[in-house]
Chain A
Amino acid sequence: MSDEPAITLYRLQACPYCERVVRKLHEYDLDYRSRFVEPMHSQRNVVKRISGKRTAPAIVDENTGLTMSESANIVEYLEKTYGEAATDGGVDVGDDREDADNGGAA
C-alpha cells in the first residue's frame, strides 16, 4: 500500500541503541514503522531472518532496498541518505520523506 512507511525499524523497548536510531529518524522527519521484538536472543528469529544478525536495532529501507543492523552503521547510513549532504542531488529517496520539499501538504 502506498501509505505504508518505506522504513521498518526492528527494535526492543528501551534499548538505547534503538533509541539512537529513532532520534535520527525523527531528526530527518522520516516516516517509519516500529516492530517490537522481545529481549531474548532465541526468540528473535524475525530479526535474524531479515538481517542475518540477532541484535536490535535492525532497519529495512524499501526506498533503497537496504537491510542493516548495528546502530552506528544505521545512523551513518541515514545521515548519508537523508541528511544535509544528501539533500542536494544525492540519492533518490522516493516520496516517503515528509519534509519541506512536498510542503507538508499531504
Chain B
Amino acid sequence: MPEFDVVDLPETDHVDVGDTAPDFTRPLVNAEYWEDVSLSELTDDGPVLLVFYTMDGAFPATYMWNEIRDRSWGEKLTVVGLSISSAYEHKTLIEERGMEYSLFSDPQNGVAADYGVENDLDGMAGVSEARPAVFLLDGDRTVEYAWVASEWPDFPDYDEVEAAIDDLV
C-alpha cells in the first residue's frame, strides 16, 4: 500500500447489474484486421466480458491484459476490450501481449460516455478516455456483474470477476 492517498474518481451513474448494456458498433481489431462489429453480434453468440481500459501503452493496460490473458477467460466466454486507442495501436498491443482477445477502438470515447465510465484526463487537454471497468453480459446483454474504477489508478478484483464468470457460464 502506498504511503499516500490515491486519487478518488468522482461518483458516476454507470451501467450496473440488471441493466441492459447499451449496444454499440465500433471497429473491432484482431491480430490480422479490423472491421465494424456490434456488441450485440458478440452477445448473440453467448456471454461477453466487456473490459474498458486506459489507452494502450499506459501501464494499467499492460497489467490488465497480462492478467486476463494468463487467466484464459477466453476459453469460457468472449472477452473483448475497449479503449480510445486507434486500431493500429490495438494491433500492436495484441501482438505484444500475445493474446487472443479482440479490442474495440473508440477514439471519441462515446461508448464510455454511454456506459457512464468516462475519465477526463488531468494534464492531457481535451482527452477523455474510459475509466477501467468490467461488465459481464449474458446473451441478452443483461449485466450480470459490473465493476467500475473508483480510484485512479484502480484494478478489477480478478478473482471476483472470475467467480462471476464461473457462476454464469
Contact = CB atoms under 8 A, between A and B. Distances in A.
Interface residues on A, range: 10 to 19
A33 B25 CA distance: 13
Nearest to B34: A36
Size bracket of the B interface: under 10
Contact of A45 (B27, B32, B36): B32
A30 B150 CA distance: 47
A37 B91 CA distance: 10
Contacts of B91: 38, 43
Contacts of A43: 32, 91
Contacts of B36: 33-34
B87 interface: yes
Contacts, number: 22
Interface in A1-39: 10, 33-38
Contacts of B87: 36
Contact of A34 (B32, B35, B88): B35
A33 B32 contact: no
**Which secondary structure dominates where chain B touches chain A?**
mixed
A46 interface: yes
A32 to B, nearest CB: 11
Contacts of B32: 37, 43, 45-46
A38 B91 CA distance: 9
Q: Pick the most buried of B32, B35, B88: most chain A CB atoms within 10 A of its CB.
A: B32
Contacts of A10: 33
Contacts of B35: 33-36
A54 to B, nearest CB: 13
Contacts of B88: 38
Interface in B114-161: none
Contacts of A38: 88, 91
Interface of A: 10, 33-38, 43, 45-46
Interface of B: 27, 32-36, 87-88, 91
